[in-house]
Amino acid sequence: MRTFTTALAAIGGLCLAGAAWAQDKVVFGTNWLAQGGHGGYYQALADGTYEKYGLDVEIRPGGPQVNNRPMLPAGRLDFLMTGNLLLSFDNVRNGIPTTVVAAIYQKDPQALIAHKGQYASFDDLASAPTVLIGKDGQFSFWQWLVKSKGFKDEQLRPYGFNLAQFLSDETIVQQAYGTAEPIYAAEQGAQVDTFLLADHGYNTYASTIETRQQLIDENPDLVQRFVDASIEGWYTYLYGDRSAAYEAIIAANPEMTVEKLDKEMAQFEALGIIDVGEALENGIGAMDEDRIKAFHDLAVASGIIEEGAVDLSKVADTRFVNKGHGLDIKASLTGQ
């Protein structure tokens, strides 16, 4: 949400071919253990794209005992893969000087799932006797569901991130990550209908890349190179040979297998998470200021955040994306 500087515009116009940078050390933190939804970063690391951009990148996974989020403002990380815009709003509200510089997911994979055929439509989920929602969800998207979609607090029960209760009662609806719980349920013999909240108006970006405002101010070239290289990694991962990324993911998280990763990526494609919407024209990572404001307004109207608590000018910096970067890679890999 800041205008281009002359210097950055000049940097953006440089041709990559023949450019030579010293290898800049970059530490990038993810929000969970290595998985398919992190694949573009592991692709860029494994196939040398980061190196091509003069970056020596270390990926530090998050996990159940690892919270990478405070490591970014503390200077222990240079970039962070975060969840959705609510987390970025919260940083701004609390005076934490971090800024979103790209949005890899055009749609948030947050979803509600129901046993297949139990409910005819998303609207019908509001009549379910029980809806399982985790603590974080209760203070975020659940408030929107109640305010705008006819759900009632009387339906609400805590979700303990275990499918046992859902599997035992076909009338139950529960929250899910669209690329995770539906796969786990199928493995236990339950077919589900998956309703992405994004398809029904919950219009946040997700899997955003954040960095410190200080890094943007002092080294916008490094920020641009990391964003560009990551975007290229995502295009190759989505449309090219992702075997090197798979190997890197499995090395970082041995619980992953090629079969699991293939299933996860099939869900990403089926649900239309990454290369859709604004990304089709403006490239993966695309962000729109009006859409960020629209989600902010949704959050205010739903009572998730207070009016005036967030300075939107500090949430995101769109100058590093929306350039169609990587569309040529997609065209060469897909023939389109």
Listed by start position, the domains of the chain span 6-106+204-334, 110-200
**Helical ranges in the chain per DSSP H:** 6-13, 39-46, 49-52, 85-93, 135-138, 141-149, 164-168, 181-187, 213-218, 220-239, 243-252, 258-271, 278-282, 289-301, 327-334
Assign domain 6-106+204-334 to its CATH superfamily.
Periplasmic binding protein-like II (3.40.190.10)
pLDDT tens-digit map of 96-132: 999 999 999 999 999 999 999 999 999 999 999 999 9
Strands (E), 46-168: 55-60, 79-81, 98-105, 110-115, 131-133, 156-158
pLDDT tens-digit map of 15-64: 444 444 469 999 999 999 999 999 999 999 999 999 999 999 999 999 88
Assign domain 110-200 to its CATH superfamily.
Periplasmic binding protein-like II (3.40.190.10)
Q: Of 58-67, 208-217, 272-281, 320-329, where does mean pLDDT reach its minimum? A: 58-67
Query: Across all residues in the chain, what is the average pLDDT?
Result: 93
User: Which tokens in the block code for residue 130?
Assistant: 């029980």
Distance CA 141, CA 136 (A): 9
Please answer whether residues 11 and 224 qualify as being in contact, where contact means their C-beta atoms are separated by less than 8 angstroms.
Answer: yes
Confidence of residue 134 (pLDDT cuts 50, 70, 90): very high
Tell me the percentage of the chain whose pLDDT exceeds 70. Answer: 93
DSSP class of residue 257 equals -
Tell me, yes or no, if the two domains 6-106+204-334 and 110-200 fold the same way: yes
The C-alpha torsion from 35 through 36 and 41 to 43, rounded to 10°, is 120
